[in-house]
Structure 1
Amino acid sequence: MSGTVTTRSRTLVVNRVLVSAHAVAIIGQPVFAGGYLGGDYDMLWLHKWGADAVSYLAYAQILAALVLWLVRGPRWLFWVSLLLAAGETAQYLAGMAGALDLHIPLGVALVTGVVLTTIGIWRVDR
């Protein structure tokens, strides 16, 4: 029994770290985009690099959330992570296509979703 609790606690810590890193990365995206729109054209490279980082973190978050679910942790994190990753994939493709009418509002929704997910995972009891 205590082995399961320890495994769950460690897995929860890994998920908290990943979700928090994901939040930091996605919050940086509007900063990079704003710099680019303000005339600093080097920020577009940072925005693309940040998009790659956000995507990789989203996929890692799905796997970590699945492991957390398997050790009897909360199931909601897996489903939310899957939904966020799908949205971020659409966001990435919209940005590459130049569809700013989709890219910007979807970005606002995704930042909100990741921040709320971060708050939620830190409220989960061990």
Structure 2
Amino acid sequence: MQPSTSARTAKPARRGALPALVALRAIATAHAIAIFAQPVFAGVFLSGDYDMLHMHAIGADVVFYLVLVQLAIALLLWARRGPRWPSGVTALIVLGETGQYFAGLAGGLDVHFPLGVALTALTTAAVIALWRPSALGVAELAR
């Protein structure tokens, strides 16, 4: 049985999503590494090395810029007929990190600590899901 015309034309468009997927995996992994460094900087600061607060602030900027790039690539992936869930999850992380940033600046540690834990968990889950071929339909992209 011959595939329909729409199925034949849809395949090359999905194949174009593969470079965006590779880029998204790379930037999401870099973002996860950066977000894991944040509690390390904060912990060293809280143990008495007050210079680490500056590193924590720089780290916050790096984490936020990385997630903005991640969002742009996730939207590109979606536009190239890839999965759309990375865009939604990344947008949620952007919102959370915006709140995290302002809570940290305001000294609202009662919000900053638990939100940081939640963001680290969500980022970790997203990276794991991005690297799972079955979750993204990579097998379909390779055909």
After the TM superposition, which residues 102-113 of structure 1 pair with which residues of structure 2 at under 5 Å, given as runs? 102-113=111-122
Q: What is the SS of the residue equivalent to 2:83?
A: coil
Residue 60 of structure 2 is aligned with which of 47, 51, 56?
Answer: 51
Q: Deviations over 1:49-70 (max 9, x none)?
A: 0000010011111110000001
Residue aligning to 2:74:
65
Which whole-Å CA distance do the structure 1 matches of 2:113 and 2:21 have between them?
32
The TM-score normalised by the length of structure 1 is 0.95
The structural deviation recorded for 1:4 is 3.1
Residue aligning to 2:39:
30
Which whole-Å CA distance do the structure 1 matches of 2:104 and 2:15 have between them?
42
After the TM superposition, which residues 1-126 of structure 1 pair with which residues of structure 2 at under 5 Å, given as runs? 3-123=12-132, 124-126=136-138
Alpha-carbon RMSD: 1.2
Greater than 4 Å deviation, 4+ residue runs: none
Q: What is the SS of the residue equivalent to 1:72?
A: coil
The structural deviation recorded for 1:88 is 0.2
* Kept after mapping to 1: 8 A contact 2:14/2:81: no
Which has the greater radius of gyration?
2
The structural deviation recorded for 1:8 is 1.1
* 2:13 aligned partner, one-letter code: T
The TM-score normalised by the length of structure 2 is 0.84
Alignment gaps of 5+ in structure 1:
none
Q: How many residues align?
A: 126
Q: Deviations over 1:81-107 (max 9, x none)?
A: 000000000000000000000000000
Which whole-Å CA distance do the structure 2 matches of 1:23 and 1:13 have between them?
15
Which whole-Å CA distance do the structure 2 matches of 1:101 and 1:39 have between them?
20
